[in-house]
Amino acid sequence: MSDPLKIAVAGLGTVGAGVLKILAGQRALLAQRAGRDVEVVGVSARDRNRDRGVPLDGYAWFDDAVQMARETDAHVVVELIGGSDGIAKDVVEAAIDGGKHVVTANKALLAHHGTALAKRAEKAGVALAYEAAVAGGIPIVKAMREGLAANRLSRVYGILNGTCNYILTTMRETGREFEDVLADAQKLGYAEADPAFDIDGVDAAHKLSILTSLAFGTEVDFSSVHVEGIRHVSPLDIQYADELGYRIKLLGIAGMTDHGIEQRVHPCMVPNDSPIAHVEGVFNAVVADGDYVDTTVYEGRGAGEGPTASAVVADIVDILRGIVLPTFAVPVGTLTAAETAPMGRHFGCYYVRLKVLDNPGVFADIAAILRDHRVSMEAILQRGRAPGEPVNVVLTTHETLEEDMIRTLNEIEALEAVAEPPRMIRIETF
């Protein structure tokens, strides 16, 4: 058996501690599968005395993670600090410049600096591996980079944030309000004390920008992702969705269109009979459409100590086996700048909920605005009558341009009979 592969781990939170547990507990199995042992030669974190549920006595401790990346004789530096800049970026750059392979779970870092870091790693001849950065324990990076290598992909989409999926699932099952369910998610550890990155769609957008690069051979371009969160999804919308045969999911969607590549994260109504509709709770799912495989679906736990640490160790095992692949599936020099499709050119169906005064002529005014902007109505729902009082009216449309839909809603909102801003959710039939 070859000499051990030496590992240094920067960041000992939930995932970092999980990585140490796997490397210790599965040591014999990993050596059997890769033909080489693993040795942890350094660890670093902010608080040396914190109880992490894993013994640290046998590891060299570094207060400075960048120093560790520079000075240890590690072959691989595992970065689990997080954040798009600051020390996480410094650690990764120091490791690469020192000729060390990097394994990271840091989607924010890759979303903002992925192309530059990939270029740096390629020049140094080292791996920049990140299976754990997207969808936790689902091996989607390996699937897209290797398993689907014979395919041109036309679309990749999925549930990329378990916090949002848990909240939407619980709202549907219980009828409770968003804020109430969010508070429970925080108590259970599914949501952070400051949940904005999750519930506003930013976390999913980070992951989608990485998947887009893998799918289409483009430079990572987080700034081109259209991002909406789930704060404004109400139990009423979920109830109407169910009546119409849909479930509401926060999806990240990247696809080729006649106007360029769409990258968008937002709540969607998906048909009840679609595979992704039944992915519930904290689970993630990713769907990739290829020209030879057709549609492939990947589902599993998208976060947590075990699944994410498992994905980190999977990258370490590849390096143990001597596998060093292009970061985004192709040499960096062949990555192209993505031509981004404007969101206004999106062509699809829409759900719209209005609260309007139940007065004569209101529907005629709304219908006239729809006609003027070439928006064709598919169905309309109104429950009960309340003459002179606000009532909820739901309509769904046939496919139309988003820019026409937005103009339509702006004009409808300006009507005197409309009591609150319209709520719009895109319908995805896949």
Q: Specify if 404 maps to a domain.
A: yes
201 neighbors 169 (Cβ within 8 angstroms):
no
**Which CB contacts under 8 angstroms, 24+ apart, belong to 258-262?**
259/341, 259/342, 259/345, 260/338, 260/339, 260/340, 260/341, 260/342, 261/212, 261/216, 261/218, 261/338, 261/339, 261/340, 261/341, 262/226, 262/340, 262/341, 262/343, 262/346
Q: Specify if 308 maps to a domain.
A: no
**Over the stretch 63-81, which tens digit does the pLDDT of each residue have?**
999 999 999 999 999 999 9
Residues 74 and 187 in one domain: no
Residues 159 and 69 in one domain: no
Residues 120 and 240 in one domain: no
User: Residue range 239-253: average pLDDT?
Assistant: 97
Residues 193 and 164 in one domain: yes
- Mean pLDDT score across all residues of the chain: 95
Q: pLDDT at residue 1 above 60?
A: no
pLDDT value for 271: 97
Percent of the chain with pLDDT over 70: 100
Residues 398 and 422 in one domain: yes
Residues 290 and 156 in one domain: yes
Angle at 396 between CA 395 and CA 399, to 5 degrees: 145
Residue type, 298: Y
Residue 352, domain CATH: 3.30.70.260
Q: Specify if 323 maps to a domain.
A: no
Look at residues 301, 322, 354 and tell me which one is the last residue of a structural domain. Answer: 301
**Over the stretch 93-104, which tens digit does the pLDDT of each residue have?**
999 999 999 999
Split into its structural domains, the chain has a count of 3
Beta bridge mates, 104: 79
Q: Specify if 149 maps to a domain.
A: yes
**Over the stretch 322-340, which tens digit does the pLDDT of each residue have?**
999 999 999 999 999 989 9
pLDDT value for 387: 80
Q: Specify if 271 maps to a domain.
A: yes
Residues 35 and 98 in one domain: yes
Q: Specify if 335 maps to a domain.
A: no
Beta bridge mates, 425: 351
Residues 159 and 296 in one domain: yes
**Over the stretch 359-373, which tens digit does the pLDDT of each residue have?**
888 989 999 999 999
Residue type, 202: V
Domain that holds residue 368: 345-427
Q: pLDDT at residue 52 above 90?
A: no
Q: Specify if 332 maps to a domain.
A: no
Q: Which residues are catalytic?
A: 207
Residues 85 and 144 in one domain: no
| Residue 14 CB-density burial (10 A; 0-12 exposed, 13-18 middle, 19+ buried) | middle
Strands 260-271 and 347-357: unpaired
Residues 108 and 209 in one domain: no
Distance between CA atoms of residues 49 and 100, nearest Å: 28
Look at residues 273, 301, 329 and tell me which one is the last residue of a structural domain. Answer: 301
Residues 179 and 295 in one domain: yes
Q: Specify if 313 maps to a domain.
A: no
Look at residues 118, 133, 148 and tell me which one is the last residue of a structural domain. Answer: 133
Residues 423 and 292 in one domain: no
Beta bridge mates, 129: 103
The whole-model pTM stands at 0.95
Q: In 3-state terms, what secondary structure has residue 125?
A: coil
Could you say which DSSP state residue 290 is in? E
Distance between CA atoms of residues 299 and 284, nearest Å: 6
User: Residue range 37-56: average pLDDT?
Assistant: 91
